Structure 1
Amino acid sequence: MINTSITTIKDFVILGFPGLDPTYYGPVSTLLFLTYLAILVGNIFILVFVGVERHLYKPTYLIFCHLAMNDLLFGTVTLPRMISRYWWDDKIIPFGACFTQMYFVHSLGAIHSLLLLIMAVDRFIAVCFPLKYPVLITNNIISIACWVSWIGTFLRMMGLVLHALTLPYCNSNIIVQCYCDNPSITNLACGGDVTSVKTVAVGFAMFSLLLPLSFIIFSYIFIFVIVSKMQNTEGRYKTLSTCTPQLFISCLYYLPRCFVYLAHATGFSFSVDIRILLILLYSLLPCAVNPIIYCFKTKDIKDILMKRLRNVRVGIKQVSK
C-alpha cells in the first residue's frame, strides 16, 4: 500500500545548476533551446526519411527509427522544463508531474540501452553468421524485439516509481538537478525505508546498463576478431563500415556513463555543477548527435541523401536556364 499520509510536499523546486549566476540564465536557456531544436529536427528527419525511402525498409534502419523516437521523446520529456527554468525562471514542478517525469526519464534511458543491445545483436549475426542473417533477423523479428523492449520497460519502471512513492516526503523540496530523477527525489524522503528504495533503484539501473553493455562488448570483440582474420582488405573495410555507426552510437551512450559511475566508485568526486553538466551531456548529447551519425556514417542513408541533393541541384540548374 502506498503510504503518503505524512507527505506534506505538494511541489518540488528544480534548482538546476546551483552555482550558475543569474546573468547566464539567458545564454543557458538559449543553448538548451537550440539543443532541443536539433533533437527535434534531426530525429523527426530520420523518422520521415526512413519512412519515405522504401530502400531503407531493413532491420538496421528500423532500429534507427526506434532510437530516433526514443531520443525525440527523451528530449521532449526533459528539455522544455529545463528551458522554462532558465528562460522564465519557472522552477516549480507539481509533485505528480515530477514523478511522471522521473518515470519517463528512467524508462526511456533503459529502452535506449535495450535498443543498443538489439542493434549489437543485429551486427553480431550479420558479421558472424551472414548466411543465417536473413532468417534470424527480419523486419518482423526486429519490430517485435523493439516493441517488447518498450512495453516491458514501461511496465517494469512502474514498480520503480510506485516504490519511490511509498516514501514520505516532508522535508526539503529542492531538487538539485535539471529534471526529476530517482536519486534526486529519494534523497528528499524524510522517513521510511529509504535504503531499500535506493538499492532497488540502483539494481534497476545496473540491470539496464550492465547487461546490454556486457553483450555489446562481447559482440564487438567477436566482430573485430572475425574481421581481423579476413584476407580481403576491401571486405574487411566494408564489414567494419557497416558496424561503425552502431559502435559510435554505443560509445556515445555508454562511455560517459561508465566514466561517471567509475569515478563515483573510486571515490573521485565532482562539484555539483560539474556532476549535473556531465549527466546532461551523456543524456542529451546522444539525442542530438545520433541523427548526424546515421546520415554521415551509414552508407545507404548517405548515398540516398547525396542522390537527392544532386537531383535538387540539377532541377535548380534546369529552372535557372
Structure 2
Amino acid sequence: MQETLFCLRVGHLPYTMSDSNTTVFTNPSFFILLGIPGLEAAHVWISIPFCAMYTIAILGNFTILLIVRLEQSLHAPMYYFLCMLAVTDLVLSTATLPKMLSIFWFNSRMIEFSACLTQLYFIHCFAVMESGIFAALALDRYVAICDPLRYSTILTNAVVAKIGLAVLLRGFLLILPRPFLTRRWPYCRTNVIAHTYCEHIAVVKLACADISLSSYYGLLIRFLVDVPDVSFITFSYSQILRAIFSLPTKDTRLKTFGTCGSHLCVILAFYIPSLFSSLTHRFGHNVPLHFHVIIANMYLLVPPMLNPIIYGVRTKQIRDRLLHLLTHKRT
C-alpha cells in the first residue's frame, strides 16, 4: 500500500482532470520499475546469476580491449570488429544491470523521466549497433574462409573504419526519434513500469494516447535492422558451411565447424529473445509477465557475457596472448 501511494504522489506534476476523473501527466517526473513482477520475493536470488553475468561481461570485454590494444599483431580487421563488439556489450550491460541490481538489492525502483528516456535510447541504440557488428563479423569470417587470398585487399583498415562508422550512424539515427516520440505522449493513471528497465514499448504503453506512431516506427526499425542483418548473416554462414565441408581433413572441418557453430549460438542468443520480447508486447497477451521480462533481459545479459568467451578466448591469438600476460605477471 505504501508503494502504491508513493507511485501516485504527483502533486508537483502538471496534470489535467478529464471527465472520468483520470489524472493525465503530460510530463511525469519519474517512473517506478517493478523489477520482475510476481517474483519480487526471489529478487535477491535472481540477482546472483545476473550479477555473475555482468561481472563476467565487464571483465571479459575489458580483457579483449586490453589484449588487442597491447598486441600489435592483433591490429587487424577481425580484432577491430571484436573491439567494437566489446564496447557495445559494455554499454548495453552497464545501461541496464546497475539499475536492475539496485532494484533487486535495495528496492530502489524510482527512475527519473529523463533518465528513463536516456536508458531507453542507449539500450535500443546499442542493440542496433550490436546487430550490425554481428553482420560485420559474419562478413569477416566469410571473406577469411571463402576468399582468404583476397582478405587483406577486401577488408582494409579504411573499409573497416567505414563499416564501423556506418554501424554507429545507423544505430544513432534510427533510434534518435524514439525518446522524442516517447516524451511527447501524455501519461495517465500510473507511472509504474512492469519491467526491470525502460524498454520502449513497456514505457509508451503507459500513455493515454494513440501510440500507433511509436509502434509502427518500432516495426520499421525491426524491418530495417533485423531483416538485412539476419539475411546477410544467414547467407554468410551458409557459404561458410559449404566451404567447411569442402576442407580436406576431418579434424579441420570439425574445428572450423565448432567455431562457426558457437558463433551462431551467440548470435541466436541475441536475436531470438529480442524478437520474442518485441512480438510478446504486441501479440503475446497470454504470456506470463515474469517470463516475458526474464526473456527480455536475456539478449542484454547473455551475449555480452558470451561474446568475449566465444569470439575472444576461443580465438587462438587472443588466448595465447592472454596466457602470456598471465604467466608473465606470475614470473
* TM-score exceeds 0.5: yes
The corresponding residue for 1:275 is: 292
- Contact 1:78/1:101 (<8 A) preserved: yes
- Contact 1:17/1:273 (<8 A) preserved: yes
User: Structure 1 residues 312, 237: CA separation in 2 closer, same or farther (over 3 Å shift)?
Assistant: farther
- In structure 2, what residue type is equivalent to 1:113? S
The corresponding residue for 1:56 is: 74
User: Structure 1 residues 213, 279: CA separation in 2 closer, same or farther (over 3 Å shift)?
Assistant: same
Distance 2:280 2:110 in 1: 31
Q: Is 2:26 the counterpart of 1:7?
A: yes
Q: Is 2:188 the counterpart of 1:163?
A: no
- In structure 2, what residue type is equivalent to 1:250? I
Distance 1:265 1:214 in 2: 23
The corresponding residue for 2:117 is: 99
Gaps of 5+ in 1: 316-321
Q: Tell which deviates more after alignment, 160-169 or 178-187.
A: 160-169
Describe the superposition over 1:236-272 as per-residue Cα deviations: whole angstroms up to 9, x where unpaired: 4565466455434323322444556677898694210
Partner of residue 82 from structure 1, selected from 73, 96, 100: 100
Kindly report which structure 2 residues correspond to 1:1-321, keeping only aligned pairs within 5 A, or say none. 7-22=26-41, 24-191=42-209, 193-233=210-250, 236-237=253-254, 239-240=256-257, 243=260, 246-258=263-275, 269-309=286-326, 311=328, 315=331
- Contact 2:201/2:281 (<8 A) preserved: no
User: Structure 1 residues 309, 133: CA separation in 2 closer, same or farther (over 3 Å shift)?
Assistant: same
Distance 1:297 1:245 in 2: 10
- Contact 2:88/2:126 (<8 A) preserved: yes
SS in 2 for 1:131: helix
- Contact 1:119/1:246 (<8 A) preserved: no
- Contact 1:8/1:170 (<8 A) preserved: no
Distance 1:76 1:135 in 2: 37
Distance 1:261 1:194 in 2: 15
Return the offset for 1:297: 2.0
Return the offset for 1:30: 4.1
The root-mean-square deviation of aligned C-alpha atoms, in Å, is: 2.6
User: Structure 1 residues 266, 45: CA separation in 2 closer, same or farther (over 3 Å shift)?
Assistant: same
Distance 1:173 1:127 in 2: 52
- Contact 2:30/2:110 (<8 A) preserved: yes
User: Structure 1 residues 81, 297: CA separation in 2 closer, same or farther (over 3 Å shift)?
Assistant: same
- In structure 2, what residue type is equivalent to 1:108? F
Distance 1:29 1:252 in 2: 20
Distance 1:182 1:260 in 2: 11
Distance 1:261 1:92 in 2: 24
SS in 2 for 1:177: coil
Describe the superposition over 1:188-209 as per-residue Cα deviations: whole angstroms up to 9, x where unpaired: 0102x31122111122133222
Distance 2:63 2:328 in 1: 19
How many residues of Structure 1 are paired with residues of Structure 2 in the alignment?
A: 309
Distance 1:293 1:233 in 2: 22
- Contact 1:99/1:161 (<8 A) preserved: yes
- In structure 2, what residue type is equivalent to 1:210? V
- Contact 2:27/2:183 (<8 A) preserved: no
TM-score by length of 2: 0.84
Q: Tell which deviates more after alignment, 262-271 or 9-18.
A: 262-271
- Contact 2:90/2:304 (<8 A) preserved: yes
Q: Tell which deviates more after alignment, 216-225 or 137-146.
A: 137-146
- Contact 1:124/1:219 (<8 A) preserved: yes
